[in-house]
Amino acid sequence: MTTEPGSDSESKQDQEQKEAAEKKEAATEQEESAEHQQADGVDGIPAAIGTSERKKLIGECEKEADGASGKLTVSQQEDHQAEDDKLSQKSSSSKLSKSPLKGAKRPKNMLCKVTLLDGSEHTCEVEKRAKGQVLFDKVCGQLNLLEKDYFGLSFRDSENQKNWLDPAKEIKKQIRSGLWQFAFNVKFYPPDPAQLSEDITRYYLCLQLRDDIISGRLPCSFATHVLLGSYTVQAELGDYDPDEYGTEYISEFRFAPNETKELEEKVIELHKSHRGMSPAEAEMHFLENVKKLSMYGVDLHHAKDSEGVDIMLGVCASGLLIYRDRLRINRFAWPKVLKISYKRNNFYIKIRPSEHEQFESTIGFKLPNHKAAKRLWKVCIEHHTFFRLVSPEPPPKKFLTLGSKFRYSGRTQAQTRRASSLIDRPAPYFERSSSKRYTMSRSLDGASVTENHEMLIKDSISASEVATGHYGAAKSLVSTNLITTVTPEKKAEEEKAEEEDKKAKTVITPLLTPAKHEIKTDSEQTDTTGPADGETTAESDQEDEMESKIQNSLVERIKGENVYVKHSNLMLEEYDRTQEEVVKHHANINEMKRTFLESTSETGPDEWEKRLSASPVRSFSKTDDLPMIEPLVPEETKADVGEIQQSKSDKQTVATSDTVMKDDGKLAKAEEERKEVDKEPTTSHSTLVTNEIVISKTASSLQEKTVLSTLEETIISKKGATKRDDDEGSLKPKEIPRQKGIEISDMEPAIETSMTKWKTGEEPMFTIATAHYFTETSGSRFLTKQSGSEVTSKNVDVSNLIDSARKQMDGKEWAAASSYSWVQKPDMNLDESPKMVQHEVHKQEKTMEIIQETMVMETQHGMNVHASEDASALCAKLAGVGRETLAEASKAHSSGDARGLSCMATVETKEDKKEEASAKVDQPGDEIVEGPPSAQGWVDQPEMAGKPAEKSETQPQFEPPVVKTESVSFDSMSKEDGKEVCTKDVPVVHTETKTITYESAKLDANAESDPGVLMSAQTITSETSSTTTTTHITKTVKGGVSETRIEKRIVITGDADIDHDQALAQAIKEAKEQHPDMSVTKVVVHKETEITPEDGDD
């Protein structure tokens, strides 16, 4: 166990040194800080720089993974060089002595002192603007250490707290006014040291652990001290030699915080028994024993619980441990932790409900100060990422993000293990220098020799006295203020809704967002946590602070205290909520809103507001206020209340579930739009957010939640562990994508999958799988990541790949979703398994339907239709409509005042071209990444899809592509048919139906002349609260020409307020945009008017 002693001081020597140096540089520091602020603040440009730098760094890391010796080249430094020079002139007198300039034009170098694990001090120079990575690499080079991801550099801040130096940030900005003095430490203690590749790595780990032991950070029993000591002696001195050694030979060794003669005698006794053991073996034994200690690798932080009781929070590989004294009083394994956040000096964790609990709970702890809270938060993020994730999550974009952008950017343990397995060098020779001896005046972390646990605890108490417990006071603030980490597994849909909400808000008050990152404050670091050396950058601190503040204000203005600010946060388990996405959301929201307003100007604003306010997500905010350590009030309850309140604002006083439904619809729309946006070729950032389909409704929020939580759980245990399958086995699809994502790029964290399941109020249940992949940032970046194991291609290809990959996933997801649905549409192919879809995709089938579908859905949303259970019924009814040619979209619909209008547009397309492209698709490997060619087919698609809906023409485009089809077995239909019957009956009873069909003669001929041979059929269905979209794709071969038909059925249910004509036009327009190479052959409008004055809303 390691802890950072609150008052634990560095050696006197160091202190004095430090003080002297501080005086010396006082003037300089002031200047520096002034300049620093200038640079960082005000205009926001520096922020952007920071982002790009980070990206660069990541790129570097990835290169390393590839085997290159990734030294970080900080090209950004050049940008600052001028500044530096200026600075150096100002402060040259004081600085020169410290870091001699090599030349007038050369960047200024700083002398760094690094205390190594054997107690020696390594001195090296780095450029003043160098990032932590530069120094770290130098030190590792000096140590001849390749498995360096377990290690880090630490420094002491002005409060003598230990911080980890962030490799991705400039050293100067992190240490602030401190000395350029660091310590090399183990940051992540490998749970199984035997898995380390090299003895030299184990050696350094041993050195760290010896220091942990004698400093008292890693407590163990007398017997263990003896055993470990004996291995240490064996490793350093070799076999016991009665001639050479008396009983004094080990007296200079240190084995324990408090040594006794007895201990030494026992060590000697055991040492004798180790005869013949090599140093490496002895160290292995040492590690095998030490790793079993309960506090091994536990990074302890002092805190208080809700009642002001002193406790310790221990961060380790497996999760978060709560101690009172040394007694473990609680444990939260990473999979149980949904969210980690901190606010001011409070640290919060949101816990997944256990099997028998229904609700999540949030637990709060009080840390001594803000910096301690943040330090703990960062350590948690890092440990979680390192030990639990396959790859680190991408750093957030700075622009328009809320919350901290801090991420662990190094390798994860999984990655470093992989990399380690590739180490191919003869075991390096290294001298095992003396371990901690009495002659050493200090332990590495500066703790005095007598330091022990008790002391630490006392320290912590005093430290935490500062923190008092006005927990209650901050309640409303908490919800808005928190910088949180969201676990993606978490209610995906809720978060989504939240995000949408938020986004919408952002749009409404655009001013707030931009202001966010411009605000800079100071940041001071306080203590670090025990064992690991962490670095906190002041910069990020500031940002976090500011961001949270902004968030807060934003929220308050918009919504009052009720807004939940979750998204701004990091996610733990997956990457669903990355900042990138958030950014995207912003964009989407804008788009969404625009579309919304345009298409349904009549009802628009009200609906919009309604939906926003109705979002169920909001209810979560209360959780954050929780008193420490006490389980929160069930969120559901709160949620309900909140919703009810919200719905008051609704004119219609809709039921809660209805409100939710609307939100869902909104969400779906948003997602769709996002998709489109992503597809736009012009956007150089090839960020792809793929589908997020929101699905159905909730009768009661309680039910919904239950289902949700189950799902989430599954997601969390993505690692393949236990998937709990719920009502419907909708989990599977998710898993597949996930794996896919992993395959795509090992290094790439940006792919995420989330599945959302909602229950519908009236309908038995709708399950919709949401696949939501998204690839980060720029194409080039993506490339880099891929490079590790995959063949790299051109940028274009990459983006194409991404598209195609996404598509494939989409197809799968959709199919999966449909197959899991309880309520099935008449024309769905329920039997299609994800697998099959995949198969088809690989067989070069075009999956345009997805795009199309997406588009259509969007349109529907735009119409602002209210959801009703009639949708499915209508759909069923319409299923049988024949196909014809479309003349004009506008003509397509008769303007009806029908209460419930259902438009079914059947779009038939024929593809003549693209055969080549398709052919390429069937690459042997299914890996999305694999086939650049496969992307080819999609090149055009995204572009088309990306066009703004408004601009698109109404006229049908006929571009007959030829598609080569391969026979794919499909079976299905039977199921659907059965369903169809059922569904049909329901709505017919009270509706009046009118069907208008427009079809083009030309296509008609084609369609009817020859049935051809059916090669494959696929049905994809998506539903939202107000619309049901069914895409049916059939592939047939007629006389050697393959034809792909895509039929889309869109059922829109809504009030009279809706302009159906417009909605239909929009849908057609968008369909065409998305499938430019397909032609619309038939549009059938089927209207049903409810005879009874029932509202679409239920």
Partner 1 sequence: MAGAGVYSHALVRGIPESLAGGALRRSGEGSGVDTARAREEHRLYVKALRVQLGLVVTELPADEALPDCVFVEDAAVVCGGTALIARPGAPSRRGEVTAIKKVLSDLGLKIVEMTDETATLDGGDILFTGKEFFVGLSERTNQRGAEILANVFKDYAVSKVSVSGALHLKSFCTMAGPELIAIGSSDQAQKTLMNMQEMSEHRYEKLTLPDDMAANCVYLNIPTKGHVLLHRTAEEFPDSAKEFGKLKDYLLIPVCNTELAKVDGGLTCCSILFNKAV
List residues binding partner 1 (CB under 8 A): 219-224, 289, 292-294, 318-319, 324-331, 333, 336, 354-355, 453
User: CB of residue 391 vs partner 1: minimum separation in angstroms?
Assistant: 23
Shortest Cβ 286–partner 1 spacing (Å): 14
Q: How far is the CB of 260 from partner 1 (least distance, A)?
A: 12
Least Å distance between CB 214 and partner 1?
Answer: 14
Neighbours of 195 (CB within 10 A): 11
With H, G, I as helix, E, B as strand and everything else as coil, classify residue 170: strand
CA angle at 151 for the pair 147 and 157, rounded to the nearest 5°: 160
If the CB atoms of residues 220 and 455 are measured against partner 1, the closer one turns out to be 220
Contact 931, 793 (CB under 8 A): no
Nearer to partner 1, 226 or 836 (CB): 226
Q: In angstroms, give the least distance from the CB of 5 to partner 1.
A: 17
Phi (first) and psi of residue 816, to 5 degrees: -60, -45
What is the helix (H) or strand (E) element at residue 178, kind and residue range? none
CB of 355 to partner 1, least distance (A): 7
Contact (Cβ atoms closer than 8 angstroms) between residue 99 and residue 87: no
Positive or negative CA dihedral for 95, 97, 98, 101?
Answer: positive
Token pair, residue 725, equals 């399958």
Tell me the CA distances in angstroms from 502 to 477, 495, 507, 669, 678, one per residue in order: 16, 10, 8, 15, 20
Q: What is the dihedral of CA 524, 529, 530, 536, to 10 degrees?
A: -50
The two structure tokens encoding residue 101: 């300039």
Question: Identity (one letter) of the amino acid at 941?
Answer: Q
Kindly state the tokens that stand for 86.
């200026």
User: Which H, E and C letters describe 556-605, residue by residue?
Assistant: HHHHHHHCCCHHHCECCCCCCCCHHHHHHHHHHHHHHHHHHHHHCCCCHH
CB of 464 to partner 1, least distance (A): 18
Please report how close the Cβ of residue 628 comes to partner 1 at its closest, in angstroms.
17
Closest approach of Cβ 445 to partner 1, in Å?
Answer: 19
Spatial distance between the Cα atoms of 997 and 1020, rounded to a whole number of angstroms: 23
**Which residue in 1007, 910, 1009, 905 sits closest to 957, CA to CA?**
910
Return the number of the residue (104 or 327) whose C-beta is nearest partner 1.
327
In whole angstroms, how close is the CB of 219 to partner 1 at the nearest point? Answer: 4
Coil, strand or helix at 691 = coil
Cβ nearer to partner 1, comparing 299 with 533: 299
- The closest alpha carbon to 968, from 1097, 881, 843, belongs to 843
DSSP class per residue in 1018-1055: EEEEEE-SSEEEEEEEEEEEETTEEEEEEEEEEEE---
Which residue number, 129 or 453, has a Cβ lying nearer to partner 1?
453
Q: What phi, psi does 986 have (nearest 5°)? A: -55, -60
Identity of the residue, 146 or 220, whose beta carbon is nearer to partner 1 in the bound complex: 220
d(CA 591, CA 670): 8
Residue 187 host element (H or E)? none
Residue nearer to partner 1 on the CB measure, 153 or 290: 290
E strand or H helix at 154:
strand 151-156
Output the smallest distance, CB 143 to partner 1, in A: 30
φ, ψ (nearest 5 deg) of residue 1019: -130, 135
Which of 133, 179, 250, 191 lies closest to 10 in space, CA to CA? 179
Distance (Å, whole) CA 962 – CA 973:
26
Q: Which is nearer to partner 1, 305 or 790 (CB)?
A: 305
Residue 49 vs 263, nearer CB to partner 1 = 263
